[in-house]
Structure 1
Amino acid sequence: MADSTPKTTLAPGGRPGFRPAAPHPREEERLNSLHSLHVLDSDHEKRYDDLTRLVADIFDVPICLVSLVDEDRQWFKAHCGLDARQTGRDLAFCAHALHEERFLVINDARQDERFFDNALVTGPPHVCFYAGAVLRDSSGLPLGTLCLIDHKPRQLDTAQLERLERCALLVENELIQRDALLAERARATLQANIDPITGYSLRRRYLQRMTAWLQERASQGELQVILVKLQNAERLRKQQGVDFYEGVLQSLSHQLNENFDDEGLLKGRVSHDTLMILLPRDQALHGMRWHRFVEQPWLLHLSANSRPDLLIGAGTFVSDSMSAAELVEVVEEELACASEWAPKEKGVQFADLTDNLNLRLEMNNRFAQALRDNELCIHLQPMVTAGSQGLSGQEVLLRWQDKNRWITPHQMLRIARHAGLDEELDIWVLRRSCALLSHWLATRKGNDSLLPLSLNITASRLIETEYMDALRRVLRLYRLKGDCLRLDVSGVESFSATPEPLVLAMKSLANDGISFCVDRFGPEHDSLRLLSMLPITSVKLHPRWISLLQTDPRQARLLKAWTAALHVLEISAVAVGIEHSRQRQTMIDLGFDQLQGYAFGEPMAPEEDYGKWLSKVETSLEQHAGDSAAS
């Protein structure tokens, strides 16, 4: 069995460097207990805030936290002296404290071999002294700490430690009291595996029943799945309250029940915001039944101002190669993606998932072989300067044609992730792109300048040492300089609370000449502070921002303000998803520097000869410019 203990690395000078804490020996039980409290991501509560301020005064420290250690983060129920609401678990001192009986005390983290190069020590909030008293649930499992932090070395004597422990007991009592309020409902739910709000099976029970349900209907051929998802569920719960939120779910379940006979159906609440129904072939909705289902007034009893948006997806499928858990995971992924493209009317999006769902079920078993047989290929799409409309860059886009049909990049990425091949796919794209650049450099004629290729990568992947090492190895293999690549990084918003690992990774690769663009920067991910910390040259705004121009007159002012803010940071603004040439002048007026989309050319397979490729792209740009002038 592989050793799951994090490996110690050596920092400069040979000292052991920072390593994340190992999981608690009863980690799964501990997390279940923490989640059962329903305290994570809850609102500020005065009694917790008052308590941390009091403890900070008692011990004369600038920072006092009630820290709860989740699966991949530590979240602060109360945070006196610190603006952040959470940090990554890998950096958390409190994750180490989970292994202690009573306390973890670090008098000077700068001198401690476990923490001296931790990003929370070397950067904000500059932890020097740390003392955490372990918080436990009613069964004794550790949940987090009540911790003290100072920017200078400190020591606590025995009396002070006992006082800190008594303060921690006060926090424990608050948490356990909260737990008691929910205990009756939780007990009933655990006993019956039935959601008390909707009457539907909860996820674990639903998967158990689904396995038998699918086996019984294996000979029926096509089955149908229907999902209803509350959009922006967390915001709805915080703004309207838990009672309103649960009332909406209850109304949805009643409305769904009115459309079907119970016989043969399998109904589940597969997540906090999603209901799922499996229908046998003889109850599947088609024709007029489907139209009546779609067109019925949803949640009509609620006022327009309080009525939440819904995403409703349906698809027929034949499942003979997936487990129940895999099938539910695939269906949920396809539904999440449908929020990007499904048409919306009166606050409800309807998505036909049939084609995508069956493609996923079929392609999951084909993808690994296709990747290793090089059936995949790359296409390039031009990016142009907004003013001159000259070629400014080229984005590498993944393509796969199977049985005369093209599999979209998003579908491939989801298939790869499901198959555990996403890392292998990243390296495949990197090698293909570098091989093309190397060939172009070796065969180009004259003084043709070689524009960098833009590769897509997630922020979580970028910070991995294995990926950074592989990137440098591939560049050396093809004798390329870093300035021939630009990495379009998505998912940077997940590093808003703890940007240090991402900043360090980007700066390290920037020293090799590689440039960066933040990809899919949008309404939910609008931290200018984070952008100002990253060594980036450009930002691609989310296509949704562009599409909102058609329906929201305020969007133009918002976009203009954002491009101006980016220019203050000396960052180029890139508009993507430009489908019509008539949008070009609008984008220029709004302050965009670069444009990308089908209005300037479709993604094309690259030519072996770089000169021919440039000529082909420039001809395409001229044709599109001519079409724009004609229109």
Structure 2
Amino acid sequence: MQWRVPMNGEQTAQDYEAARLAALVEYHILDTPQDPLFDEIVELAAIICQAPIAVINFIDRNRQWFKAVKGLSVRETPLDISICSHAILQPGLFVVSDTTQDERFTCNPLVTGEPFVRFYAGALLKSHDGHPLGTLCVLDEKPRELNDQQRFALQALANQVMAHMELMRSHREQKRLIAELENARREMASLAATDVLTGLLNRRALERRLRNTLASIKRGASPAAIVMIDIDNFKHINDNYGHPVGDRVIKRFAQRCRSIIRQADVLARWGGEEFMLLMPHTSVDEAYQAANRLRDKLARQPLVADIAEPLYVTASMGICSLKEANSLQERLHVVDQLLYQAKDQGRDCIVLEKSLPHIERSA
């Protein structure tokens, strides 16, 4: 097609066609299922214009596609036989009173063969920014004209087609924005609950999980265990190796902790070099076994190996139960005291609630 390009001094026919096709794609209309509203519009156009054929069509790159059609059994035709491809080159209503008398269409297969089109009238379907997308057209097998009322009605119905498409486009955009907002809300919620350095839950998020777990226990769930973990001599690591190495220690310590816990367990960075582990449906003795596995792993493998001297760390831990009769603040106070007792015993220790003499120290 040879486009009548707006005189903007720069835009070529190819640029204009690319912009037109981009505008068509924006409406997400091509190859969509039939829609009763569009079907009613072609029925109404056929009745008002007293035409046996009425079509809502869109001009794609190499085809003419019908969104709604009355009087034809096809949903698309090649672009080279489309009368509508000529209609969108013209401003306003495009009317061909007798196709056999118009040299553009005398050899058109739609004129020389079925459905033997003799009359055509098409009202432009224009995008919100003025690009011609297709037409609402009526066709007849005999030459004829439209009166003024029919011309007005055909264009008015075309405007309704575009109004509905604009509404559909707005709804899609609204859904997209709502989805983006929901994703942003989830991301913000995740960030608000996540420790940036380790990717673990932060203190606030873990306190919420602790409250929920305690509520479940009060409703009959099994008791849980709380493990407070502190990296020993962490200030010494920062002072001697620098904060970047200290950050690597924190991150890798978190990974080491993850390696010894179950899927149901909840690990969080409590603050600084302190971590907290919530172990649902777990006794203090069972939690001790997990804590001891962590201590053994720390002893066997350095946390940072790619420095002059591989860096090993130890950790002190306190473990208490979380039961129906407990309050959360009291439990947090108890586990904190147990941790400090482990440190007082020389670090690299695990102290269990109600087992203060039972202090474990690595060899």
Question: Structure 1 length normalisation: TM-score?
Answer: 0.26
TM score, norm. by length of structure 2: 0.45
RCO greater where, 1 or 2, for CA within 8 Å and sep 6 or more?
2
The structure with more radius of gyration? 2
